[in-house]
């Protein structure tokens, strides 16, 4: 499956953005999905995950209550709604797919190219 993340950009602190991850070339509805991010000089970290039927979602403590992950299997697309953005949310955001959603990056086989989110003061 091929993944493409989009929707990044420049936003002021306190603002919102919605990222999308479009999938092609596979049966999207059979994959667990995850969002990860990598800030300059830091390791890639888990942001959110969602199971193939959306029955299970998980978030990192740093985004819980501010970010919401969702998916539309009919559109082969996953979303990340990001609200109350903080300076520390600045990073390249990546989407990933695997048979089962996980918070561990090494467990994902398929990755999209990232989209940059920059939060300014």
What pLDDT does residue 26 have? 84
pLDDT of residue 10: 98
The pLDDT assigned to 54 comes to 93
3-state secondary structure the chain: CEEEEECCEEEECCCCEEEEEEEECCCHHHCEEEEEEECCCCCCEEEEEECCCCCCEEECCCCCCCEEEEEEHHHCEEEEEECCCCHHHCEEEEEEEECCCCCCHHHCCEECECEEEEEEC
Task: Per-residue pLDDT tens, the chain, 121 aa: give them.
Answer: 999 999 999 999 999 999 999 999 989 999 999 999 999 999 999 999 999 999 999 999 999 999 999 999 999 999 999 999 999 999 999 999 999 999 999 999 999 999 999 999 9
Q: What is the pLDDT of residue 113?
A: 94
């Amino acid at each position: 499956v091929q993944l493409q993340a989009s929707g990044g950009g420049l936003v002021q602190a306190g603002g919102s953005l919605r990222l999308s991850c479009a999938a092609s070339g596979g049966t999207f509805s059979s994959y667990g999905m995850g969002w990860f991010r990598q800030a300059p000089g830091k390791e890639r970290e888990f942001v959110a995950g969602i199971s193939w039927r959306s029955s299970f979602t998980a978030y990192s403590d740093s985004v819980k209550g501010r970010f919401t992950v969702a998916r539309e299997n009919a559109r082969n697309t996953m979303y990340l709604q990001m609200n109350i953005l903080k300076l520390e949310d600045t990073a390249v955001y990546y989407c990933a797919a695997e048979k089962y959603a996980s918070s561990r990056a090494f467990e994902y086989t398929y990755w999209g190219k990232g989209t940059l989110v920059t939060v300014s003061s």
